Structure 1
Amino acid sequence: MGAPRLRVVVLISGRGSNLQSLLDAAAGGGLPVDIRAVISNRPGVQGLERARAAGVEAVTLDHRAYAGREDFDAALIAAIDRHEPGLVVLAGFMRILTPAFCAHYAGRLLNIHPSLLPKFRGVHTHERALAEGETEHGASIHFVTAELDGGPVFLQARVPVLPGDDAGTLAARVLEQEHRLYPLAIRWFAEGRVRQDGDRVRFDGALLDAPLPLPPCPA
């Protein structure tokens, strides 16, 4: 009998493109996790349908039904903890989380962000990269802290910014790499290879001085 798989809860707000990459990797045996639930703060989004299609519990917790951010986050914690996860994954979850929420899941809360952090924290990253004349863009995986998109980064994928790019073409190029990036990062976490250590990250026991690059696709 094999070792128990890491229990994971995924938080979304939209179509669930990165969620699908995780569901596919788990179903294909390349991701040693048990995705116990997908929770959306917005009702009726495509990501919930993706979860149901994969046989995963799909939960709506509408933030508009709560008086404030603290009340919503308390309810979200209760909904997550019912599944006793070892990892909580933000996959396009468009909410700023309270310090109490971040502290509750410290060291077991991951996010994917569509920029080469610390550049372009927040939203509209592709438009901002183009406006700044960047020649390179990408995506980052980081542990979540109370600082918006400011937790320690440990894995990044880089893509070129091409002549004639607009926000849509650049976003599509980055998203293709995100779908490789997130399953790898979660697999490393599930295997015990990556851990948060204060404001830094240990990979295979050694403190990282810089984020690791996404390995190339196998030939």
Structure 2
Amino acid sequence: MSTADFPEGIIVRTEGDLLEALTAARVARGLSNEFCDTRAGLTRGHVDKCLGPTRAKSLSPMLFDTLNELFAIQFIMMPNPEAEARQKARWEGRDLTNVRMGGPSIGKHAMGRAKPKILEDFGAKLALFLGDDVDHLLFGMNASRLPEQADIATEPAANPEPLVPVPPVLVHEQDKPKGKKTSSRKAAETHSHLHVVQVKRRA
């Protein structure tokens, strides 16, 4: 069919209006749901479940793009005078503290990438103003900080209190079993369970 015979002036305000508009476009092109399924690479009955009366499936963004191309249609956004009259009072009375009135702001990542270049340009202009090059200027700034850093580095550390060893403490001893003779070495290894704790603390 020609473009002159295509329905125009369809207003889309809700999802239902959008589905009705797509259905009208399909009918105007003389295409069946089965043909749309085949051309779009969909399973049989998919388009009918989206545009048909059951609306069993929702219209996905991919299918919306596919049907727009298949039906050779496009949508134009325009103001809604009725909704504008209802919302105008809310727009004027809203809190503007968090609204950006100017142009787009620079993100933190972009600022981090631009910061070295900004500092380099600033240093070059400052050196030009002072009649000195950037390297000499930076050397002078760093040299002025060296005495302070040297004082910090050479400052004697506070004398820590010495660690005084504490004599071993016997915390457990198991008596030797009676009625059984063992060698002194074996007895020392198996029956004399001495757990010694070496404690070091500050005096």
- TM-score (norm. length: structure 2): 0.19
Q: Between the two structures, name the one with larger relative contact order (CA 8 Å, sep ≥ 6).
A: 1
Greater percentage in helix = 2
Greater percentage in strand = 1
Larger radius of gyration: 2
